[in-house]
């Protein structure tokens, strides 16, 4: 006799367990976190990677939620460096200066300063990215303990290996939780970068694609040239402006930012050399220089660097037809003024004629108004026995038009005052 068929199951299937629901939630979270990177011009990111390559401590300043921590996490992943995050404000000074450990015979062996576990892990790894977060919320005692770590890479009796890079982040005091001003000695040890958000980068990143952080490609053939250029730039400026060698700001708030000192000028020299060897843009160099010695000295240095690239006025006078004049108006004006000054210093008929040829070339290849003042000055240098070159006729209209415009502007100003 056949066995009876078991009755069919009835009722609704059992509900999924809470654990399986969390598994599904985890799958969704994984999809949300899944993103990729792409090469994309980003001067902030390029400045950061250049300073990291130069082995200089970097401090990112930005409002909360701007993406400082995310940028550091992505940088560590792109450079294949283990990331160690230390929240400075929740640590005691001894966590950075080292905890005293009494041995068997302190009188004979002394009392060593034991480092924290995260420092030991960095030494064992031999490389890594040390991220000091929330630096502006660290009290003065902790900031003082950080001085040796940031400058000398020492924590207690332990020294971090050369493969470890240091980057910090801070919020402005106005938006920091119980924030403090950064002490001048600690601030002067960092390259300060203002971290802001780019609308297009954020939108594309939320769509799943973020900019890729890569170390700069240094040209091996330009290393010696880059060092020479950086030394000439910094030493040339400081020789002409000795008061810029060390200038501690008088305002307390500015002391917590970049300001010029022999230490920060040394960092600036390194950054110029790295930027030159990497072929970085002027915008990137501007961020780095102003973030190391401050806006005023940094802009003076950038102007000095621009003048270093200008052609020699004597070379321009020797070959007016082949002279390469800068495209930027301020630099072109500086070249023309230099040519006229060279003729004034050694007035000769051939040099005077060559200067006119340079002005004609500038008129043909750039803004006409740039030649007005040099042409007027050069005309005043003419001696009676010098014949007027034909090229002056091509400039006469520009000078005359400029003078008529000046007279019209002057008459308008007088008329406006009279009508009041």
Q: What is the CATH number of the domain that holds 89?
A: 3.40.50.300
> CB count, 10 Å around CB of 242?
9
Q: Angle 295-308/282-293 helices, nearest 10 degrees?
A: 140
Same domain, 260 and 324: no
CA proximity to 74, closest of 40, 47, 35: 35
Q: Answer with the one of 164, 180, 211 that is the final residue of a domain.
A: 211
Same domain, 330 and 406: yes
pLDDT tens digits for range 375-414 = 888 888 888 888 877 766 666 655 554 444 344 445 545 4
Which one of 120-129, 249-258, 324-333, 360-369 scores highest in mean pLDDT?
120-129
Q: What burial class does residue 304 get, using C-beta atoms within 10 Å of its C-beta: 0-12 exposed, 13-18 middle, 19+ buried? A: middle
Q: Pull the structure tokens for residue 395.
A: 């400039």
Residue 189, pLDDT above cutoff 80: yes
Same domain, 178 and 252: no
pLDDT of residue 59: 95
Same domain, 193 and 231: no
SS3 154: strand
Report the alpha-carbon distance of residue 64 to residue 62 in Å, rounded: 7
pLDDT of residue 402: 45
Same domain, 278 and 160: no
| Residue 155 in domain | yes
- The DSSP annotation for 42-75 comes to -HHHHHHHHHHHTT--EEEE--TTSSHHHHHHHH
| Residue 153 in domain | yes
Q: Angle 223-240/295-308 helices, nearest 10 degrees?
A: 120
| Residue 226 in domain | yes
Report the alpha-carbon distance of residue 341 to residue 352 in Å, rounded: 11
In Å, how far are 54, 264, 419 from 216, measured between CA atoms?
Answer: 10, 22, 62
pLDDT tens digits for range 26-82 = 899 999 888 888 888 889 999 999 999 999 999 999 888 888 888 888 888 888 899
Report the alpha-carbon distance of residue 381 to residue 369 in Å, rounded: 20
Same domain, 251 and 338: no
pLDDT of residue 404: 45
Same domain, 259 and 302: yes
| Residue 106 in domain | no
Q: Pull the structure tokens for residue 233.
A: 């730039």
pLDDT tens digits for range 108-152 = 666 677 788 888 899 999 999 999 988 888 888 888 889 989 988
CA proximity to 338, closest of 349, 330, 348, 327: 330
Same domain, 191 and 233: no
In Å, how far are 16, 31, 150 from 27, measured between CA atoms?
Answer: 16, 6, 41
Contact 170, 60 (CB under 8 A): yes
Q: What total of structural domains would you count in the chain?
A: 3
First vs last Cα of the chain: how many Å apart? 124
Q: Answer with the one of 291, 308, 325 that is the final residue of a domain.
A: 308
Q: Which domain holds residue 271?
A: 220-308
State how far Cα 8 lies from the chain centre: 74
Which pTM value belongs to this model? 0.74
Report how many helices (DSSP H) and strands (DSSP E) the chain contains, helices first. Answer: 19, 11
| Residue 32 in domain | no
Supply the Cα-derived Rg of the chain in whole angstroms: 32
- Token look-up 């006469």 returns 396
Same domain, 293 and 275: yes
- Report the 3 state secondary structure along 291-310: HHHCHHHHHHHHHHHHHHCC
Percent of the chain with pLDDT over 70: 84
pLDDT of residue 271: 97
Same domain, 44 and 167: yes
| Residue 25 in domain | no
Q: Answer with the one of 308, 333, 368 that is the final residue of a domain.
A: 308
For residues 183 and 181, which has the higher predicted lDDT (pLDDT)?
A: 183
Report the alpha-carbon distance of residue 165 to residue 373 in Å, rounded: 51
Q: Pull the structure tokens for residue 117.
A: 């576990």
| Residue 8 in domain | no
Q: Pull the structure tokens for residue 77.
A: 């992943």
Q: Is 66 left (phi over 0), alpha (psi -120 to 50) or beta?
A: alpha
Same domain, 62 and 200: yes
Question: What mean pLDDT do residues 264-285 have?
Answer: 95
- Token look-up 């690239």 returns 309
Same domain, 79 and 191: yes
Question: What mean pLDDT do residues 287-312 have?
Answer: 90
| Residue 154 in domain | yes
């Amino acid at each position: 006799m056949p066995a009876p068929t078991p009755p069919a199951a009835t009722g609704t299937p059992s509900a999924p367990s809470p654990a399986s629901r969390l598994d599904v939630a985890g799958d969704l979270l994984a999809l949300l976190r899944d993103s990729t990177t792409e090469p994309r011009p980003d001067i902030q990111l390029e400045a950061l990677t250049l300073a990291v390559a130069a082995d200089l401590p970097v401090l990112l300043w930005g409002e909360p939620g701007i993406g400082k921590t995310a940028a550091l996490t992505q940088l560590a992943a792109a450079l294949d460096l283990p990331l160690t995050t230390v929240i400075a404000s929740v640590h005691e000074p001894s966590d950075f200066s080292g905890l005293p450990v009494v041995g068997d015979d302190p009188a004979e062996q002394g009392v060593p300063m034991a480092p924290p576990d995260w420092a030991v892990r960095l030494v064992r790894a031999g490389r890594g990215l040390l991220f000091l977060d929330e630096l502006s919320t660290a009290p003065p005692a902790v900031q003082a303990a950080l001085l040796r770590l940031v400058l000398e890479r020492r924590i207690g009796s332990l020294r971090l290996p050369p493969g470890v890079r240091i980057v910090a982040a801070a919020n402005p005091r106005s938006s920091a939780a119980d924030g403090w001003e950064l002490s001048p000695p600690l601030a002067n040890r960092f390259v300060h970068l203002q971290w802001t958000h780019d609308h297009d980068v954020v939108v594309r990143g939320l769509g799943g694609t973020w900019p890729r952080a890569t170390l700069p490609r240094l040209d091996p053939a330009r290393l010696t040239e880059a060092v020479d250029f950086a030394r000439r730039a910094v030493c040339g400026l400081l020789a002409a402006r000795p008061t810029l060698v060390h200038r501690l700001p008088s305002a307390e708030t500015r002391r917590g930012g970049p300001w010029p000192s022999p230490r920060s000028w040394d960092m600036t020299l390194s950054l110029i050399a790295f930027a030159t060897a990497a072929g970085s843009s002027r915008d990137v160099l501007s961020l780095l220089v102003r973030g190391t010695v401050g806006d005023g000295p940094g802009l003076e240095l950038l102007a000095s660097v621009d003048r270093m690239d200008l052609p020699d006025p004597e070379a321009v006078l020797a070959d007016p037809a082949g002279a390469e004049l800068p495209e930027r108006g301020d630099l072109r004006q500086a070249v023309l003024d230099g040519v006229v000054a060279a003729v004034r210093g050694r007035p000769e008929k051939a040099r005077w004629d060559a200067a006119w040829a340079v002005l004609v070339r500038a008129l043909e290849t750039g803004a006409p108004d740039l030649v007005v003042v040099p042409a007027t000055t050069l005309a005043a240098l003419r001696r009676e026995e010098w014949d007027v070159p034909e090229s002056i006729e091509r400039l006469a209209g520009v000078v005359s038009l400029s003078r008529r415009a000046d007279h019209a502007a002057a008459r308008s100003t007088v008329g406006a005052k009279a009508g009041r």
